[in-house]
Amino acid sequence: MTRFSPLDGRPLDIALVSEHASPLATLGGVDAGGQNVHVAQLAGVLADRGHQVTVFTRRDDPDLPDRTPLRPGVTVHHVPAGPAQPVPKDELLPYMSEFARCLTGEWQARAPDVVHAHFWMSGLASLWATRETRLPLLHTYHALGTVKRRHQGRADTSPPARIACETEVGTGCDRVIATCRDEVDELAAMGIPRGKVDIVPCGVDPEAFRPDGPVAGRGPFPYRLLQLGRLVPRKGAAVSIAALPGLPRAELVVVGGPPTDRLDADPEVRRLRKLAAEAGVADRVRFTGGVPASGVPALMRSADVVLCPADYEPFGIVPLEAMACGRPVVASAVGGQLDSVADGVNGLLVPPRNPAALAAAVAVLLADPALRTAYGNAGRRRVLDRFCWERVAAATEASYRAALAARVAVAGTAL
């Protein structure tokens, strides 16, 4: 039984579980991207709203302390599960039983009011632990195995059990927090009732990402196109490179991947450089490697257009960051980008895997400075209206309290 009515507005003790995506991780690696940002920002804004937040993530370094303060009201707890070293996320499933046992022990000793798991393996471990501790569980997938398998086929490195586990988590948790409308349809096809799902988008900090502020230096080309994110094939950097011959006055800056001194050894960088050479645009493609989060806004502000041409995108934080910085976006019409990018208002949507369509859309914007400004201004307004973190955290908290209220109602009925 909860210690108080979930509707009385008192602060909550919240456990966020993010097994592979630590809020302390450096961004831009293969397994470090939007989820890391989402968990870190959500934890911080929930703390600003008066709640106490603990983020449970897997220990991947033996020198990490058991607990690390992230900011006032937020603690990161490093859970010993598997080797204390980096492990690709698709190889973590065998360690989730150990992860769940640690969560169970922690929550039996000190129970949070609510548990919010992020990504399917966190959901699985949290489901096992909350069954033992009888705690309410909410789950955010961030990405779905059904979608990944549909797009990647044999290239999908997810464990074979992923889809079945995701269904188990979705049917077993109290509520699912989806990040976009497209995800609700995918979940319904998996057998998870629409009435069990709340839609809460990802967010962006409009103070960190804003139109005014430092601007990264530009090269000698009249126009700059920017693509930012994890350097994996599905993000579509190859599509951007293939579009570049149709945009002869533009450079493409690709942000993400390993540190600069390791770029030459990275297989994806080598593949993309080869494609750029074959397309005759190698002199107009630059790879920065991974950059600190603090350096991203200046890079965004240096761009004329931000490209988001992913094959598929569960949500996509980069469009929001570009919009907050007042930059127009050209994005593939997939997943969460259908919700964030209003076609013809703050950017343009194009079919995925279509370099010609991408080039044509970008050319429209590069030819019209006034249109770029109008789209940029509209994007900023859209972020402030729908995607700032305070709104996201308030909606997430409402889902928490709804789950708690349902628990109380069931307990009252049983009595």
Report how far apart the first and last C-alpha atoms of the chain are (Å, whole number).
12
Flag whether pLDDT at 1 surpasses 60. Answer: no
Query: Which domains are delineated in the chain?
Result: 13-203+389-414 (3.40.50.2000), 223-387 (3.40.50.2000)
Higher pLDDT, 195 or 410: 195
Which helix (H) or strand (E) element contains residue 12? none
H helical segments located in 173-213: 181-189
pLDDT digits (tens, 9 = 90+) for 101-154: 999 999 999 999 999 999 999 999 999 999 999 999 999 999 999 999 998 888
- Strands 329-332, 52-58: pairing is unpaired
Higher pLDDT, 7 or 50: 50
What is the pLDDT at residue 409? 80
Query: What CA–CA distance (Å, rounded) separates 179 from 140?
Result: 8
Quick one: pLDDT band at residue 33, thresholds 50, 70, 90?
low
What mean pLDDT comes out for the span 238-263? 96
Report the mean per-residue pLDDT for the chain: 93
Give whole-number Cα distances, 383 to 205, 214, 388, 391, in Å.
Answer: 9, 20, 6, 10
Quick one: pLDDT band at residue 35, thresholds 50, 70, 90?
confident
Query: What CA–CA distance (Å, rounded) separates 357 from 369?
Result: 20
Flag whether pLDDT at 56 surpasses 50. Answer: yes
Query: What CA–CA distance (Å, rounded) separates 392 from 411?
Result: 29
